[in-house]
């Protein structure tokens, strides 16, 4: 298997997960917040995901942006086959998938066998620090040819600072896998037993490195497929920001900021003592490296632009003026207390509450928020900061502008995902065309949504019956509040009815506003 995968673990498919950060409306907004002109997702655009896996996120984006074109590329044929099945089931004509390795794709571009137009957005999530140096060079070659001038690139990777205590642990896991061949998810189970024996026996590495011991304990609760793809790769290498930025500079890509919004503001991310040191540093690359070390973050989610055009604050606000936003949680659940690297931040209710009310009532533009009577006298920057924190906290989101066709595509994909959730699939996403992405919910709500997609009325009793029948059909259980499995169908229905009644009446109007449910 590793002969064609070039050292990457490919004997089992990667987890089929949704990644919120990849939404073009979100990426464009965050890049603009960082003071750089970004592609406008309100106009038709071209979007490519390199290393798209089974394509769930890309399929959601294509369904909610019907006027734009999407391409997914992955070297694993099992991933591409699964991605195509879902796209075909949803009937999406603006989405295509291509099975190709990075090096083969780079050759196709060099030899002129790839004839498609370049892209406004290119994203790579969880790819760059898991592949070989040769493949990283190929990725940069691909980006050099596939990204339009002014195009945006999102790239995430493990960092050297955050992972340094774990490097010996991963090296031992790789050696254990080589010594005991087998299917990688089963290898993970065996090696976790082995590593815990080693820790319990008093191995000095774990005694002197409590971070590694904590990490090992955390791994016990993580999905085996994820662990296999994270750790059992020959070329797994956490990378410092400076190395990645210098790699991407060869494709004329300039660093703009991180997709994790609070980390772009030193006053939200660092103590005054760290900020004082940063203020002394004129070199941007060194400053970013210091930030990485000061945060000790294990994972970066970064935005680059090909030929970044800096904007003054006034120009940023002007660009922001007509962009729309909305709340993506029920108004009752929204909060103005935010978790930031420095701890907890409580925003001024006099500014925040009118913003929350307006976002819950509709899809106001940034200019309309500034014009609210309750915000008279507030600075645009103060309003923008709270709005950005709400977006970062997954409470608000930019609104997309892709027309009614996107609602049709989103409805078709929601029906396809609803059919799957009635089987063994536990995806918890609801496709939301109003925001050009999806919202994440819990399993009871996801099953209730599947009932609505199947044509049931918005009746709690009927939806609870539907959810219980779906769970029982797949041999799954319903648990009481104390964690004990419930024995009878009546107990299960009563439990699900109680869970749904606690939140669904608040969430159903929200789902309608976001387009996840259509009347």
Q: Kindly report, residue by residue over 482-510, the tens digit of the pLDDT.
A: 889 888 999 999 999 999 998 899 999 99
pLDDT band with cut points at 50, 70 and 90 for residue 12: low
CA dist 341 and 347 (Å) reads 15
Helix (H) or strand (E) holding 351: helix 349-361
The dihedral through the CA atoms of 274, 279, 283, 285 has a sign that is positive
Mean pLDDT of 419-426: 75
pLDDT at site 15:
63
pLDDT at site 160:
94
Mean pLDDT of 11-24: 79
CA dist 193 and 172 (Å) reads 13
CA dist 362 and 331 (Å) reads 12
* Beta strands 253-258; 95-99: pairing state: unpaired
Task: Please name every residue paired with 305 in a beta bridge, in sequence order, or none if there are none.
Answer: 152, 254
Helix (H) or strand (E) holding 71: strand 69-74
DSSP E strands: which ranges in 75-170?
Answer: 95-99, 119-124, 147-158
Contacts of 212 (CB under 8 A, 6+ apart): 165, 166, 168, 169, 205, 206
Domain 20-159+239-310 has CATH 3.50.50.60: no
Cα distances (Å, whole numbers) of residue 94 to 59, 68, 233, 399: 10, 7, 33, 20
pLDDT band with cut points at 50, 70 and 90 for residue 232: confident
* Beta strands 429-432; 396-398: pairing state: unpaired
How many residues can be counted in the chain? 519
pLDDT at site 184:
85
Q: What is the number of alpha carbons within 13 Å of residue 139 lying toward its C-beta?
A: 29
pLDDT at site 106:
94
pLDDT band with cut points at 50, 70 and 90 for residue 478: confident
Phi and psi at residue 477, to the nearest 5°? -110, 165
Residue 389 structure tokens: 């924190």
Residue 490 structure tokens: 């009546």
pLDDT at site 375:
95
DSSP E strands: which ranges in 379-453?
Answer: 396-398, 429-432, 437-440
- Look at residue 456 and tell me whether its pLDDT is greater than 60: yes
Closest CA to 143 of 105, 181, 96, 177: 105
Mean pLDDT of 345-370: 96
CA dist 151 and 452 (Å) reads 39
CA dist 322 and 401 (Å) reads 11
Give percent of the chain with pLDDT exceeding 90. Answer: 78
pLDDT band with cut points at 50, 70 and 90 for residue 3: low
Q: Which residue has the higher pLDDT, 233 or 32?
A: 32
Contacts of 498 (CB under 8 A, 6+ apart): none
Say which residue the tokens 């892709």 belong to. 402
Say which residue the tokens 């070659």 belong to. 141
DSSP E strands: which ranges in 367-411?
Answer: 396-398
Q: What is the mean pLDDT of the chain?
A: 92
- The vertex-289 CA angle with 284 and 295, nearest 5°, equals 125
Secondary structure (3-state) at 422: coil
- Look at residue 147 and tell me whether its pLDDT is greater than 50: yes
pLDDT at site 325:
97
> Burial, 220: exposed, middle or buried (Cβ in 10 Å; 0-12, 13-18, 19+)?
exposed
* Residue 30 near residue 387 (C-beta atoms within 8 A): no
- Look at residue 72 and tell me whether its pLDDT is greater than 70: yes
pLDDT at site 405:
75
- Look at residue 189 and tell me whether its pLDDT is greater than 60: yes
- Look at residue 245 and tell me whether its pLDDT is greater than 90: yes
pLDDT band with cut points at 50, 70 and 90 for residue 341: confident
Q: Where in the chain is the domain with CATH 3.40.50.150?
A: 20-159+239-310
- Please tell me the chain's helix, strand, coil percentages from 3-state DSSP, rounded to the nearest 5: 55, 15, 35
Mean pLDDT of 2-7: 54
Closest CA to 29 of 428, 460, 326: 326
Mean pLDDT of 312-322: 94
Q: Kindly report, residue by residue over 290-305, the tens digit of the pLDDT.
A: 999 999 999 999 999 9
pLDDT at site 1:
44
DSSP string, 256-267: EEESSGGGG-HH
Helix (H) or strand (E) holding 443: helix 443-453
Secondary structure (3-state) at 123: strand
């Amino acid at each position: 298997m590793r002969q064609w995968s070039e050292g990457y673990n490919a004997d089992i498919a990667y987890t089929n997960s949704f990644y919120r950060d990849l939404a073009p409306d979100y990426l464009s907004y965050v890049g603009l917040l960082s003071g750089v002109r970004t592609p406008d997702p309100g106009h038709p655009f071209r979007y490519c995901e390199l290393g798209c896996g089974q394509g769930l996120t890309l399929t959601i984006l294509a369904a909610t942006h019907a006027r734009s074109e999407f391409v997914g590329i992955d070297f694993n044929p099992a991933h591409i086959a699964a991605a195509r099945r879902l796209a075909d089931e949803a009937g999406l004509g603006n989405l295509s998938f291509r099975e190709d390795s990075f090096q083969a794709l780079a050759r196709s571009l060099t030899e002129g066998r790839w004839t498609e137009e370049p892209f406004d957005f290119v994203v790579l999530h969880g790819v760059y620090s898991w592949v070989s140096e040769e493949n990283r060079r190929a990725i940069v070659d691909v980006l050099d040819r596939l990204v339009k001038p002014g195009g945006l690139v999102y790239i995430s990777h493990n960092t050297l600072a955050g992972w340094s205590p774990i490097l010996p642990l991963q090296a031992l896991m790789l050696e254990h896998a080589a010594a005991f061949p087998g299917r990688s998810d089963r290898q993970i189970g065996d090696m976790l037993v082995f590593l815990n024996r080693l820790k319990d026996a008093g191995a000095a590495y774990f005694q002197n490195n409590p971070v590694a011991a904590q990490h090992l304990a955390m791994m016990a609760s993580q999905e085996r497929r994820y662990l296999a793809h994270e750790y059992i790769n020959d070329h797994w290498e956490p990378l410092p920001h400076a190395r990645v930025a210098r790699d991407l500079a060869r494709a004329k890509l300039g660093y703009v900021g991180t997709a994790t919004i609070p980390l772009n503001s030193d006053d939200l991310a660092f103590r005054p003592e760290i900020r004082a040191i940063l203020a002394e540093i004129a070199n941007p690359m060194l400053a970013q490296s210091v930030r990485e070390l000061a945060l000790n973050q294990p994972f970066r989610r970064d935005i680059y632009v090909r030929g970044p055009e800096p904007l003054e604050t006034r120009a940023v606000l002007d660009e922001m003026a007509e962009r729309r936003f909305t709340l993506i949680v029920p108004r009752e659940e929204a909060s103005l207390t935010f978790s930031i690297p420095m701890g907890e931040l409580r925003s001024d209710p006099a500014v925040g509450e009118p913003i929350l009310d307006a976002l819950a009532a509709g899809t106001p533009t940034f200019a309309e928020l500034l014009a609210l009577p309750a915000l008279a006298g507030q600075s645009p920057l103060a309003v923008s900061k709270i709005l950005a924190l709400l977006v970062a906290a997954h409470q608000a989101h930019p609104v997309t502008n892709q027309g009614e066709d996107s609602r049709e595509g989103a409805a078709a994909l929601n029906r396809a995902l609803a059919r799957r959730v009635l089987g063994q699939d536990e995806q918890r996403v609801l496709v939301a065309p109003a925001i050009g992405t999806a919202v994440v919910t819990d399993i009871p709500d996801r099953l209730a949504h599947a009932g609505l997609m199947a044509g049931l009325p918005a009746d709690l009793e009927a939806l609870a019956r539907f959810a219980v029948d779906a769970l029982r059909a797949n041999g799954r259980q319903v648990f009481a509040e104390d964690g004990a499995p419930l024995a009878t169908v009546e107990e299960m229905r009563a439990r699900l009815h109680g869970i749904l009644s606690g939140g669904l009446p608040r969430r159903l109007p929200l789902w309608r506003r976001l387009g996840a449910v259509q009347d």
